[in-house]
Amino acid sequence: MNLLITGGAGFIGANLVLHWLRNHPDDVVINFDAMTYAGNLENLQEVKTHQNYRFVLGDLRKPLEIEKAFTEHNVEAVIHLAAESHVDRSIHGPAEFIETNITGTFNLLETARKFWGAEMSAHRFLHVSTDEVYGSLGSEGKFSESTAYAPNSPYSASKAASDHLVRAWHHTYKMNVVTTNCSNNYGPFQFPEKLLPLLINNCLQNLPIPVYGDGKNIRDWLFVEDHCEALDRVFHQGVSGEVYNIGGANEWSNIDIVRFVCKELDRELGRSGDDSCEKLINFVTDRPGHDRRYAIDAEKIETALKWTPRYSFEQGLSKTIRWYLDHQDWVKNVTSGTYQDYYERQYG
């Protein structure tokens, strides 16, 4: 099979490309990526010379570039990961999110529809989305596949719109689609604007650790390797037209995560007292429209597809911390220039 993975040089995308070529070595994986600030081909050094790996520099906002990839590589299936994904960036500059996440998804769907034609049902289109489309929860309850959409940020609104497009292309054109909505991912190769790599990097650099509001916002955390295994399962076994929520069953408040990681890093780095990483915690003005709590009900994928996460948060976090400590050159490369400017603009 010739599989197009959009956003394959990004965080989840790179992990998925690596997972796919390890587990499905006979498939040809075409990595279609625009190489924005969050894309990094260093993430894929392991498969750079793999006989079944292809890289295509392409932008979803440009239909001709998508069509060229489909034509040259005879694309037979798609896993659509490419997206602008950082909530803070969407608040300060929503236009890119509309163009990439909505128009880009439309362009991809239309190209697939054009190329697959009458054989549409034989070609799978897996659309990867987020639990943020559901809005915010109170102290109880969880998001299920039937939860009404209520996005509260430009990012989540753009992802909600793309989800609706995928649903419509299934019902209108009979495209063989499946959609997943996942909780917060963490693990290797994540760009250090997201909480966990930001926290680890700032501890190592003795920079303030920004915590929004009171730090009691709660998220469900999913280790990226678990997510890749779930996507693999949904791609191969999911029912066309269905939605599957993917969660890690790991609800943590932001401040509890920060303190836990600080303790782990103190142990790793031999810090204590006034040198403790916890001394770097800095509560900052809350993010506009900051959702209070997310939690995923993953019963459907667990029951129907027999998938459950293998890693507890503590296990996954330990692997993640170790990876960042062992890959400081990677961190330095991705945090130069763009990242530093962004950090200073956001947090001072």
Exposure string over 297-323, b if 16+ CB within 10 A, otherwise e: bbebbbeebebebebebeebbebbbeb
345 domain residue, yes or no? no
**If you average pLDDT over residues 127-133, what whole number do you get?**
96
CA distance 125 to 113: 10
217 domain residue, yes or no? no
195 domain residue, yes or no? no
pLDDT of residue 88 exceeding 90, the answer is: no
Q: What is the DSSP letter of 132?
A: G
Q: Quickly tell me which residue has 């810090």 as its tokens.
A: 271
**If you average pLDDT over residues 291-301, what whole number do you get?**
92
Active-site choice (132, 220, 291, 297): 132
The tally of domains found in the chain comes to 1
179 domain residue, yes or no? yes
- How would DSSP label each residue in 214-235? TS--EEEEEEHHHHHHHHHHHH
Active-site choice (53, 134, 155, 343): 155
The per-residue pLDDT for 195 is 87
Which two tokens mark 190?
A: 């994540």
Of 57, 169, 174, nearest in space to 121 by CA: 174
31 domain residue, yes or no? yes
The per-residue pLDDT for 140 is 87
Domain with 43 in it: what CATH number? 3.40.50.720
174 domain residue, yes or no? yes
Range of the domain at 171: 2-183+222-248+291-312
Catalytic (active site) residue 155? yes
Active-site choice (33, 59, 131, 229): 131
Of 158, 36, 138, nearest in space to 87 by CA: 158
Which two tokens mark 158?
A: 């753009």
pLDDT of residue 100 exceeding 70, the answer is: yes
The per-residue pLDDT for 148 is 97
Counting residues of the chain whose pLDDT is more than 70, the rounded percentage is 97
321 domain residue, yes or no? no
Per DSSP bridges, beta strands 209-212 and 28-33 are unpaired
Name 295's Cβ contacts closer than 8 Å, sequence gap at least 6.
Answer: 137, 141, 142, 143, 183, 218, 220, 247, 251
pLDDT of residue 173 exceeding 60, the answer is: yes
pLDDT band at 342 (very low <50, low <70, confident <90, very high): very low
Catalytic (active site) residue 132? yes
165 domain residue, yes or no? yes
pLDDT band at 9 (very low <50, low <70, confident <90, very high): very high
Catalytic (active site) residue 33? no
Counting residues of the chain whose pLDDT is more than 90, the rounded percentage is 81
Rg for the chain (alpha carbons), in Å? 20
